[in-house]
């Protein structure tokens, strides 16, 4: 384990429900504060060791870099107002403020201390700062090659952070010109020349910001840049009936396969993906939340009377327990009864520990939706869950927590995909509730009048 990851051993992030950019940035900011505290502690330890060894050099932080501070002979071209032959200087060697940098700075401090003690110090190009390499002489490809190392210099390496990094790296490699210099103009040109959708362009902007921040390069033109979305993506959210009908396609696909395939070892794999389909529909899960350390012991436990699914802490928004919106789908989709499917899941994820390995297993969801001819995408089941919860009158906070969303994200999602038909259903249900309420109020008034009439008759002679 490297020093940065060792520093995160006691890091406990605040639980979040926002799976979007703001939620990820909250975790990143908390990690940066935690790491800064650890680095400050190590910096003090370095200076304590130097002082104990009677080295007349100290190490100090300046921005994102480290400097050596010592009293040295007057620098060429400099003067001392008091006529002294020595002066205190801060020497920059281009050493970054991280654990590797602290180790290097300590070594350099000992080396400089020896030169001073032996009266051999001279103002060479190294100490004058004339051999420092400028960051903007690097190519974008060089930044990308160092991206992983730099990214995890300030972040705890987990499945969640590895997933984020993998998506950043994929976008960077696909859309950035690696042979060009890492300067503002080339990053801006990459965004402008991107032929993908507006949402991909905005993701590219985010990736460039992260890449440049990790590489300590400023791209001020991208700080507030956002591509306004012109074309609205069309997404057909499946109805409950459509979800139940599409579920049957998995078995139909298996029955229609050529008979020679019935002797293959993977002939029953369709049962796993049918089970995954049912879990996505009933619980509104992200596909990855089924494959990351699934707690099948709890899932099948007699104590799990509410049929909750436990999402692992390594997933996008941390751990949570998820309830089904339609409890009867747990039975009709055989979610607890299909033990063969769950054994296939165990086999699918066995010995898969890295983000890349688990994602490779999860990608089978998209492939099998296409194989069997499901008329929508896996994530449409999640959006359908959000819309269904709204139509059922589930409080937004409860629905958002169940999905691992912030309230704002949850609201924006169901509003974005709320079709004309769903709006009509919502209005009709609201009117029915209003009519029922008015009917009950009228009935209460009638009963009160009847009670008053009966009381008057009782007191009459």
Question: pLDDT tens digits for 99-137?
Answer: 989 999 999 999 999 999 999 999 998 898 765 444 457
Quote the pTM value. 0.71
Under a CB-based contact definition with an 8 Å cutoff, are residues 434 and 428 in contact? Answer: no
- Please give the pLDDT value at position 135: 43
Tokens matching residue 180: 């060009």
Instruction: Output b/e per residue, 362-371; b: 16+ Cβ within 10 A.
Output: bebbeebbee
Tally of domains within the chain: 4
User: Is 233 contained in some domain?
Assistant: no
Q: Are residues 413 and 430 in the same domain?
A: no
Q: Name the residue range of residue 311's domain.
A: 240-418
User: Is 210 contained in some domain?
Assistant: yes
Q: Are residues 207 and 95 in the same domain?
A: no
Q: Are residues 346 and 380 in the same domain?
A: yes
CA 387 to chain centre: 23
In terms of DSSP H, where are the helices of 219-376?
240-247, 249-256, 269-283, 288-291, 296-299, 327-332, 339-349, 355-362, 364-372
* Distance of alpha carbon 30 from alpha carbon 191, whole angstroms: 29
User: Is 256 contained in some domain?
Assistant: yes
17-73 per-position pLDDT tens digit: 565 556 667 777 888 899 999 999 999 999 999 999 999 999 999 988 999 999 999
Mean pLDDT of the chain: 85
Range in 7-21, 49-63, 274-288, 394-408 the model is least confident about? 7-21
Q: Are residues 84 and 101 in the same domain?
A: yes
CATH code at position 320: 1.10.443
Residues designated as active site? 286, 316, 382, 405, 414
User: Is 379 contained in some domain?
Assistant: yes
In terms of DSSP H, where are the helices of 140-239?
140-145, 147-151, 159-175, 184-193, 198-214
Under a CB-based contact definition with an 8 Å cutoff, are residues 400 and 406 in contact? Answer: yes
User: Is 333 contained in some domain?
Assistant: yes
Of 222, 255, 284, which residue sits at a domain end? Answer: 222
User: Is 274 contained in some domain?
Assistant: yes
Q: Are residues 321 and 398 in the same domain?
A: yes
Count of positions (residues) in the chain: 461
User: Is 234 contained in some domain?
Assistant: no
User: Is 231 contained in some domain?
Assistant: no
Q: Are residues 20 and 101 in the same domain?
A: yes
Kind of pairing, strands 86-96 and 320-322? unpaired
Of 79, 105, 132, which residue sits at a domain end? Answer: 132
Q: Are residues 33 and 13 in the same domain?
A: yes
């Amino acid at each position: 384990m490297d020093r940065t990851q060792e520093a995160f051993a006691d890091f406990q992030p605040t639980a979040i429900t926002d799976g979007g950019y703001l939620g990820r940035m909250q975790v990143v900011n908390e990690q940066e504060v935690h790491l800064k505290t650890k680095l400050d502690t190590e910096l003090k330890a370095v200076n304590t060791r130097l002082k104990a060894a009677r080295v007349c050099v100290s190490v100090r932080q300046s921005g994102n870099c480290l400097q050596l501070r010592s009293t040295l002979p007057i620098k060429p071209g400099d003067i001392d107002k008091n006529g002294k032959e020595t002066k205190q200087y801060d020497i920059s060697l281009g050493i970054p403020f991280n654990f590797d940098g602290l180790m290097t700075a300590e070594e350099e401090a000992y080396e400089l201390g020896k030169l001073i003690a032996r009266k051999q110090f001279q103002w060479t190009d190294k100490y004058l700062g004339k051999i420092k390499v400028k960051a903007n002489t690097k190519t974008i490809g060089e930044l990308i090659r160092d991206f992983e190392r730099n990214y995890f210099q300030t972040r705890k390496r987990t499945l969640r952070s590895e997933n984020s990094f993998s998506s950043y790296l994929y976008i960077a490699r696909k859309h950035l010109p690696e042979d060009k210099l890492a300067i503002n103009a080339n990053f801006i040109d990459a965004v402008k020349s991107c032929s993908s959708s507006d949402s991909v362009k905005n993701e590219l902007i985010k990736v460039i910001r992260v890449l440049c921040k990790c590489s300590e390069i400023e791209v001020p033109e991208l700080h507030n840049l956002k591509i306004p979305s012109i074309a609205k993506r069309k997404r057909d959210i499946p109805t409950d009936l459509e979800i139940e009908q599409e579920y049957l396609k998995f078995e139909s696909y298996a029955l229609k396969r050529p008979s020679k395939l019935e002797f293959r070892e993977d002939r029953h794999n369709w049962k796993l993906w049918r089970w995954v389909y049912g879990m996505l529909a009933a619980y509104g899960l992200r596909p990855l939340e089924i494959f990351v350390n699934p707690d099948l012991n709890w899932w099948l436990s007699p104590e799990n009377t509410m049929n909750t699914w436990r999402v692992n802490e390594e997933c996008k928004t941390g751990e949570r327990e998820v309830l089904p919106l339609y409890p009867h789908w747990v039975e009709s989709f055989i979610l607890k009864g299909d033990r063969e499917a769950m054994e296939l899941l165990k086999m699918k994820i066995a010995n898969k520990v890295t983000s890349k390995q688990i994602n490779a297993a999860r990608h089978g969801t998209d492939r099998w939706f296409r194989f069997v001819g499901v008329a929508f995408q896996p994530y449409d089941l999640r959006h359908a869950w959000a819309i269904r919860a709204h139509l059922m009158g589930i409080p937004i906070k409860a629905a958002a927590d169940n999905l691992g969303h912030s309230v704002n994200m949850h609201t924006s999602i169901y509003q974005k995909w709320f079709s004309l038909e769903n709006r009509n259903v919502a209005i009709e249900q609201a009117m029915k509730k209003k009519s029922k309420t008015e009917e009950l109020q009228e009935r209460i008034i009638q009963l009160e009048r009847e009670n008053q009439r009966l009381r008057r008759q009782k007191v009459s002679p």
